Amino acid sequence: MNQNFKKIFPSFSNVLVEDINANAINQSFVTGDVIMRTGQYIKNTVLVLSGSIKIYREDDDGGEFFMYYLQPGQACAISMICATKNEKSQIMAKVVEDVELVMIPLPLMDKWMMQHRSWYEFVIDTYRNRFEEVLEVINSIAFKAMDERLEFYLKRHKDACGCKDLKLSHQEIATELNTSREVISRLLKKLEQRGELKLHRNHIELLK
Amino acid sequence: MNQNFKKIFPSFSNVLVEDINANAINQSFVTGDVIMRTGQYIKNTVLVLSGSIKIYREDDDGGEFFMYYLQPGQACAISMICATKNEKSQIMAKVVEDVELVMIPLPLMDKWMMQHRSWYEFVIDTYRNRFEEVLEVINSIAFKAMDERLEFYLKRHKDACGCKDLKLSHQEIATELNTSREVISRLLKKLEQRGELKLHRNHIELLK
DNA sequence: TGACCTATGTGATAAAAGTTACTGATTGTG
DNA sequence: CACAATCAGTAACTTTTATCACATAGGTCA
């Protein structure tokens, strides 16, 4: 796993990787598992080795507002931030594709900041990227109408999975954009007519 | 200023305060000054001694979506994050009340993370608080209709200024919520009828 | 195959928000 | 004081989004 790990987190120094191997816990989850809930205390920082996790905010009445995906080589910024303060989670994390994780216990996450330059940079980098991503999300909902928000949503999914075939139902999209299925169906139809994509049952084929 | 500084940033160690005094630059701005723009490179991390700064995102067509205020004793999380990577600003910062600032040059901000425990904790704390605040903002726009968003907006302003008298015109609020003045006027009227507040020219008196 | 479940398409209608147009009120300034 | 500028109130209308109701289509499995 040592070899593999260096490939997924190439910026980590050898000493850091040794420290991780010695202290962190490996854990696996399968699709559908919820590994973090709103209000739950966070005890670990999570590094993703394989698979994919959806990070979202939950509404009082079942809305699941999509924020971003965690992919291999990434870490959960929120778990890092909360970890240092032993805070409750403000977000939900659900497994989209079976994942292998490395759990870094809270005190180590903090200690390594001072000891390993490459860890420090990784953490700061994670903060920055997520903060920016979240700012983008704010832009899209604050300034854009639903049609543009849908396009933004599809684009982010394309970027995240690196493919043009999105396995999403209209209902799922509607939930994640906090609107109704009918609205999404209609807007997708328009995009199809414009030649932007092709609709299939349970998946959407992007053409551009 | 040394004495004063310790009062505004009580968590800072004496050594850190000395370091700040020796290296940082004091700067003042007056109401209306824009001290950071979208696309501009960030060369300093900003600590607020007095006054107040509005942080917002700018739209292509003049929208000024309100994110949060920077108050005395606080620092700009975004300038910290960007500073470490020499990145462009993604936000706008406008002075709302004349401010005195301490500008920490980029390389020091980074260096001190390893040297001063109290600086490290302050920075992490700033990240965490802002991240959470931004998540709250996402909730309000993703899940709430304009009436609730307005109430949330008023509440945050009350919390920020610590008073119940908000010096805001309907137009300002509308701009910051990216809607039109008429909508805000109507909703404020409703809130007045419900006895939540009292409307005056150029200011709103909260009753609850 | 046919019963059944889920996903999607679509029209009608309602509600929320945005736009236009105009009014009066208050304030500051020469 | 007179005038301009800004702020606020409101009615009428349009657009966007949400909701309801129902039709159809594809896939699963006994």
Where in chain A are the domains? Answer: 1-115, 145-206
Mean pLDDT (chain B, rounded): 91
Q: How far is B123 from chain A (nearest CA, A)?
A: 11
Helix/strand/coil (H, E, C) string of chain B?
Answer: CHHHHHHHCCCCCHHHHHHHHHHCEEEEECCCCEEECCCCECCEEEEEEEEEEEEEEECCCCCEEEEEEECCCCECHHHHHHHCCCCECCCEEEEEEEEEEEEEEHHHHHHHHHHCHHHHHHHHHHHHHHHHHHHHHHHHHHHCCHHHHHHHHHHHHHHHHCCCEECCCHHHHHHHCCCCHHHHHHHHHHHHHCCCEEEECCEEEECC
Gap between the Cα atoms of A25 and A105, Å rounded: 8
**Average pLDDT score over chain A:** 91
Q: Which of B159, B157, B160, B156 is nearest to B71 (CA)?
A: B160
Question: Which residue ranges of chain B lie beneath pLDDT 70?
Answer: 1-3, 83-86
Contact criterion met (CB below 8 Å) for B131 and A131? yes
Angstrom distance (rounded) from CA B106 to CA B79: 9
CATH number 2.60.120.10 given to A1-115 = yes
Write b or e for each residue in B189-204: b if 16 or more Cβ atoms lie within 10 A of its Cβ, otherwise e: eebeeeeebeeeeeeb
Distance CA A123, CA A141 (A): 27
CB contact under 8 A, A131 and B85: no
Residues paired with A44 in a beta bridge = A105
Which positions ≥6 away from B162 have C-beta within 8 Å?
none
**B148, B172 contact by CB (below 8 A):** no
pLDDT digits (tens, 9 = 90+) for A133-170: 999 999 999 999 999 999 999 999 999 888 999 999 99
CA distance B140 to B160: 17
Contact B131 A81 (CB under 8 A): yes
d(CA A99, CA A113): 26
Q: How many CA atoms lie within 13 A of A203 on its CB side?
A: 9
- Which residue from A82, A97, A131, A148 is spatially nearest to B134, judged by alpha carbons? A131
Residue type, A84: T
Tokens of A99: 């994942």
Q: Is strand C in 7 Å reach of the CB of A4?
A: no
CA distance B183 to chain A (A): 16
* Cβ separation B131–A65 shorter than 8 A: no
Q: Which positions in chain B touch A134 (Cβ < 8 Å)?
A: 131, 134-135, 138
Nucleotide closest in space to B179 (CA vs C1'): C18
Per residue in A81-120, pLDDT tens?
A: 776 666 778 889 999 989 999 999 988 988 998 899 999 9
B chain contacts of residue A131, beta-carbon cutoff 8 Å: 77-78, 81, 127, 130-131, 134
CA A68 to C1' D26, in angstroms, rounded, equals 31
Residues A135, B91: C-beta atoms closer than 8 Å: yes
**To the nearest whole angstrom, how far is the Cα of A139 from the nearest Cα of chain B?**
7
B167 touches strand D (CB under 7 A): no
Share of chain A above pLDDT 70, in %: 97
**Residue A44 pLDDT exceeds 80:** yes
d(CA B65, CA B74): 21
Mean pLDDT along residues A167-193: 96
Q: How far is the CA of B34 from the C1' of D10 (A)?
A: 35
Q: What pLDDT is recorded for position B83?
A: 64
Kindly identify which residue of chain B lies nearest to residue A132, measuring between CA atoms.
B90
Interchain pair A134, B138: CB under 8 A: yes
Question: Shortest CA–C1' contact from A169: which nucleotide?
Answer: C7
User: What token pair was written down for B112?
Assistant: 């001190």
For chains A and B, count residue pairs whose Cβ atoms are closer than 8 Å.
Answer: 93
Question: A139 contacts in B (CB within 8 Å)?
Answer: 57, 59, 65
Kindly list the distances between the CA atom of residue B197 and the CA atoms of B189, B204, B208, in Å, as whole numbers in the listed order: 9, 7, 7
pLDDT at A60: 78
CATH of domain B145-206: 1.10.10.10
DSSP-derived letter for residue A43 is -
Query: Which residues on neighbouring strands pair with residue A56, listed in sequence order?
Result: A66, A92
**Contact, A169 CB vs strand C, < 7 Å:** yes
Q: What pLDDT sits at residue A1? A: 54
pTM passes above 0.85: yes
Inter-chain residue contact B85 with A124, CB threshold 8 Å:
yes
Three-state SS for A69?
Answer: strand
Instruction: Looking at the complex, report in whole angstroms how far the Cα of residue B81 sits from the nearest Cα belonging to chain A.
Output: 5
3-state helix, strand, coil in chain A (%, to 5): 45, 25, 25
